[in-house]
C-alpha cells in the first residue's frame, strides 16, 4: 500500500523528515502543503496556475447545501452603508458615492492591508515605511494614491491632488486608519465588523497595483462574490468561513 503521509509540494519531504510537527497548508486553496515559507515561495510559479481555481471550486462546494444569501452587513466605523461591495469593486465604483472621510479610511486601510500581506508572504517592503523602521508609511502611501489616479473611474471625481494630501494627513492624525501603525487581518475584521472586509480591501489594492500579493489574481473570486451578492448563479448560497481572501 502506498504511503499516504503528506509531503511538501516543493521538496517532497514529510514533516517528520524535516523535524516539523506538521506541514502548513496554502492559506488560499487550503490543499497544497509546504514545510515552510521558502518552499512555498519556490513553488509559487507552478502553484499559482491552479491555486485560484482550487480555492474557487472549494468555496462553491462548501456552500452548495446552504440556503441563505450573503448580504454585506453595515460596516462599523464608516459613516455610510454601501451595498454590494464586490459588484462595485468590479465596476470600479467601490469608492464612489461615499463620504470623504470614508474614502480616506478605505484607501489607507487597503494600503495597510497590502503592506502587511506583502511582508508576511514575501518579506517585501516598500521603504520608507513602518516595515523598514520609518515612523510613518506616508511616502509609499502617496505613491499608492498616484497609482490609483492612473485607473479611470477608480477614485471619485472630487479626489484631486489636494485631497490626496488631505488623505495622507488624515492617515497621520491619530485616527484608527493610521499610516504610522501596522495592521493585521483580525484587527481589520474587528474594526469594521465584517469577516469579508479584508477581502474587500485586498481586492481594492489589487486594482491599484494591477496584481495581488505574490502575483495572485482575485478576479475569479470577485466574480463569484458578485454572483452570490446579486442572487445570480450564487442564489441560495451562504458565505462560509473558509479563508480564501489571500
> Tens digits of per-residue pLDDT, 6-64?
899 999 999 899 999 899 888 777 788 999 889 988 888 888 878 866 765 665 554 44
Do the Cβ atoms of 220 and 61 come closer than 8 Å? no
C-alpha separations of 193 from 100, 113, 185, 231, 240 in Å: 20, 16, 12, 23, 16
Same domain as 194, residue 95? yes
- pLDDT classification of 237: cutoffs 50, 70, 90: very low
In a domain, 105, yes or no: yes
Whether 90 and 58 share a structural domain? no
Q: What domain count does the chain have?
A: 2
Say if residue 14 is in the same domain as residue 105: no
Whether residue 66 is predicted with pLDDT greater than 50 in this model: the reply is no
Question: Is the whole model's pTM more than 0.85, yes or no?
Answer: no
Residue 240 forms part of a structural domain: no
Residues 108 and 142 in one domain: yes
One domain, residues 31 and 133: no
- Chain centroid to Cα 18, Å, comes to 31
Based on the fold, state whether residues 108 and 192 are members of the same structural domain.
yes
Shared domain for 134 and 16, answered yes or no, is no
List, in sequence order, the alpha helices (H) in the chain: 37-63, 85-90, 100-122, 138-148, 161-170, 185-192, 197-209, 219-229
Domain boundary among 65, 95, 118: 65
For residue range 178-230, what is the model confidence (pLDDT) as tens digits?
999 999 999 999 999 999 999 999 999 999 999 998 888 889 999 999 988 87
Quick one: 50 and 104 in the same domain? no
Q: CA 232 to CA 122: how far, in whole Å? A: 36
Instruction: Answer yes or no: is 74 within a domain.
Output: no
58 plus 93 within the same structural domain? no
- Within this chain, do residues 27 and 109 fall inside the same structural domain, yes or no? no
How does DSSP classify residue 33?
Answer: E
Residues 6+ apart with CB under 8 A from 47: 9, 26, 32, 40
Count helices and strands in the chain by DSSP H and E runs: 8, 2
- Alpha carbon dihedral 87, 216, 65, 194, in 10-degree steps, equals -60
The answer to whether the CB of 8 falls within 8 A of the CB of 23 is yes
Pair (52, 100) in one structural domain:
no
- Both 61 and 148 in one domain: the answer is no
pLDDT recorded at residue 63: 45
Tell whether 201 is covered by a domain.
Answer: yes
Q: Could you tell me the residue range of the domain that residue 6 belongs to? A: 1-65
pLDDT at 49: 74
Amino acid at each position: 500500500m502506498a504511503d499516504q503521509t503528506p509531503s511538501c509540494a516543493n521538496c517532497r519531504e514529510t514533516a517528520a523528515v524535516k523535524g516539523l510537527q506538521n506541514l502548513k497548508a496554502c492559506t488560499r486553496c487550503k490543499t497544497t502543503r509546504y514545510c515552510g515559507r521558502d518552499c512555498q515561495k519556490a513553488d509559487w510559479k507552478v502553484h499559482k496556475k491552479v491555486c485560484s481555481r482550487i480555492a474557487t471550486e472549494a468555496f462553491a462546494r462548501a456552500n452548495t447545501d446552504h440556503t441563505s444569501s450573503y448580504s454585506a452587513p453595515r460596516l462599523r466605523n464608516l459613516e455610510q452603508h454601501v451595498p454590494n461591495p464586490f459588484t462595485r469593486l468590479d465596476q470600479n465604483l467601490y469608492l464612489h458615492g461615499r463620504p470623504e472621510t470614508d474614502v480616506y479610511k478605505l484607501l489607507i486601510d487597503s494600503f495597510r492591508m497590502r503592506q502587511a500581506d506583502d511582508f508576511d508572504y514575501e518579506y517585501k517592503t516598500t521603504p520608507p515605511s513602518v516595515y523598514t523602521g520609518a515612523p510613518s508609511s506616508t511616502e509609499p502611501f502617496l505613491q499608492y494614491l498616484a497609482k490609483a489616479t492612473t485607473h479611470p473611474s477608480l477614485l471619485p471625481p472630487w479626489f484631486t491632488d489636494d485631497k490626496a494630501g488631505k488623505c495622507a494627513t488624515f492617515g497621520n492624525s491619530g485616527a484608527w486608519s493610521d499610516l504610522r501603525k501596522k495592521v493585521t487581518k483580525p484587527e481589520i475584521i474587528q474594526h469594521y465588523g465584517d469577516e469579508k472586509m479584508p477581502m474587500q480591501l485586498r481586492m481594492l489594492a489589487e486594482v491599484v497595483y494591477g496584481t495581488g500579493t505574490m502575483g495572485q489574481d482575485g478576479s475569479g473570486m470577485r466574480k463569484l462574490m458578485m454572483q452570490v451578492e446579486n442572487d445570480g448563479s450564487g442564489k441560495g448560497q451562504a458565505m462560509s468561513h473558509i479563508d480564501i481572501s489571500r
